[in-house]
Structure 1
Amino acid sequence: MALSPTDVTQLAAVDSARAARVLSDVRAATLAGQPAPVAPRPVIEQSWERMLRGGVDPDHDFRSGLLSREEVQRRRESTALRHVLPVLREGLLSVADVAHHIMVVADDEGRVLWREGSSAVLRKADGLGFELGADWRESVVGTNGVGTPAVVRRPVQVFASEHFQRSQTSWTCTGAPITDPRDGRLIGVVDVSGPLETMHPATLAWVDSVAKLAEARLRELHLTSLERLRAVAAPVLARMPGRAVVVDRDGWTAAVTGMPYANRVALPKSLSPGRRWLPPLGLCSVEPLAGGWLLRPADEPVPAGSTRIALDLTQPRRWSVTVSGGAGSWSHELSPRHAELLYLLALHRTGRSAAELAEDMFGDAGRTVTVRAEMSRVRRYLGAFLEHRPYRFREDAEVGVLLPDDPRELLPHSTAPAVVRGRLSAEV
């Protein structure tokens, strides 16, 4: 009787050896471009397709070297994962050790930062390169329980020959992403792994539930932190006239007075006390508080004839441009393409021709028709502040760009060559 992908998963719980043989045949046929006896599960099939498109070698491991102990420790101390490690240990380790599993916690780059559990399984993991500081991104080592959940942003179980690389096919991995509950940004992945015979379908729900507990703990810590900051801010705001907002170090609002509440204020990567321009607040007095900042928008009007343009690229898929001048202030949410164009014009204040923008965006100077069409749309709302021949911001405009803290988050959707170079140069 023919098996379905679901049948293979169920079979693995009672006869792991037979299920592994079936999946080995599926993998061999798929890589050879031949009809498979059973279709791979959709999440696995889509991952394999990414591997084939990306040129990952199914038979050889070409990952980069291990991180140094010093770098592993630095990443441990800087990641939010350190706050939820007790939750992960309590929820996973006692069962993992008995079931001959190990728990692995990796950061958002797929680097293994913690690895605990059965000592016998840890020794076997060493043979797979599943070590502290190892790189387990899907694009590097193929379909696996660390890299694949990070890509698809949901829990994934990878059993036996569902792994893309041959060296991992005696292994079973179940991983779940851990995201920042404030903004949905990926923080890392928690994974439970072990030899083939330790696999059980219920492991997927188990690992997922513990990952959600970890996210709930992060949410609780965030709210507690804001409450502490709010207590510090209350007496300060009570005796302060005018408008003010108190935010934490990441810009999340703890308290406001004299102005509408906003969930978050976009802060530059490095903020220091003094008078600073912060969209959409405008010119502000910035003062440090314990655990955050006191921001007091300036009440004086912007001098007539002056224009400030602030491009905010800090929030994933919530990019905006804010314009402030003698007539007041307004903001416009940007499409991905317009965010790219305005970022490039902010980089090149002397201007870019249509051909240069086409080269920047597409690597093809001939695609000027597309550039001109998009710039025509930009000019519908920003035309008073743009020049053309070449395209550029007006010389009398003060232009600022707020960039994300992590250079990799700069317009992450973008494949424009100039944007990719911007990410790389910011990392240096």
Structure 2
Amino acid sequence: MRKKTKNRLVSTVLSTVVVTSLLFPGTAGAQGSKEAATVKQKVNSAESIQNKISKSLKSSFKKDDKVTFLIKLKDKADTKKAAKAAEKNAKLKAMSNAKTEYQKRSAVVSSLRMTADESQADVKKYLEEQKSKGNADDIHSYYVVNGIAVHASRDVMEKVAQFPEVEKVLPNEKRQLYKSSSAPFNMKKTQKAVKATDGVEWNIEQIDAPKAWDLGYDGTGTVVGSIDTGVEWDHPALKEKYRGYNPENPDQPDHEMNWFDAVSGEAAPFDDLQHGTHVTGTMVGSEPDGSNQIGVAPGAKWIAAKAFSEDGGTDADILEAGEWMLAPKDADGNPHPEMAPDVVNNSWGGGPGLDEWYRDMVNAWIAADIFPEFSAGNTDLFNPGGPESIANPANYPEAFATGATDINKKLAEFSLQGPSPYDEVKPEISAPGVNIRSSVPGQ
């Protein structure tokens, strides 16, 4: 009797379900639709997470168990707002221009660091846990761009992409220095060096720099920074213009906060590839007695960050150098915005088209009143030049791009052209960049 009662009960329940579904067909359909929607949502979520990860980064794990990759966070500091608020406050207190600038730069750095600290906390905690398990190492947090560099496994990469605060997971790519030809600095055999007039190089004369000097505008009071291959600091044309130079003790310069090596960590400035020394000479170089004028602004001081080796510079190293330029760090790693340069020269870049990895860095410099100069770029195997070929970061709306001209004031055949992918005229100016004589290490 019990079995029959039980069977009869089950039958009644089933019948009720069937009748209910017939009377109210939307009930069963709604349940199915709900489940289908949940499944679809999960699929879309999985696809969204995978879309955060660069395809080239995924493929790099085919060769190695661990690779270095970059994690970009969604949150951005409003550096422009921070700078404006600091400037307004400084004016209310009738601060000097120097103190106003310091307040602005400090506000920019503080807003960037606060945003990075808050938004990166959970991701960094996870990475540290994975480090203790041997799945990750070389964790480096940035604030100039809200991001993290890490050397880790594929599983760690995929887990990181699941964090809602993460915008993208990208490969640690290499950017290239701009060299005008295979011969150093485009010194082609078919072209003869142009003799300087009264000790002033032709390129300096062509842009009327001596006329500006005569009016008292020779760069005095300005500090220029270079992100490049380094600088031979004691080169005769550059030694006394180095901010770390001590005239009372010429052989004991102060390199702290005047030099940074993101590549090998060397404590004193050096240049193993000539490029950075040549660029710095073009900016400020001359003999101590004022002769041999190879620089546009011989009265300016220089500082430098090395981010490039022979095969280029990684995003991680360039980003570290760019952050240092915003606020040079002391021996204990504390940032000092008051030691930032007024201008940063960048003779490097990536390819044409959109790549906004460095755009936050450029905007941070601008908010801190640091002028971001970028070379428009040179033709190479992957970029033959022509219209719309200008490389990033030079093609950013915020970057000031410079093209190259020859002695006849014609655009150099290797110089990349605009417009930019943001539909803006680029470069902003073009200036002498072919067969330029400047300082070279050891010479």
TM-score by length of 2: 0.26
Higher Rg of the two aligned structures: 2
The structure where strand makes up a greater share of residues is: 1
The answer to which structure has the higher helix fraction is: 1
Identify which of structures 1 and 2 has the higher relative contact order when contacts are C-alpha pairs closer than 8 Å and 6+ apart. Answer: 2
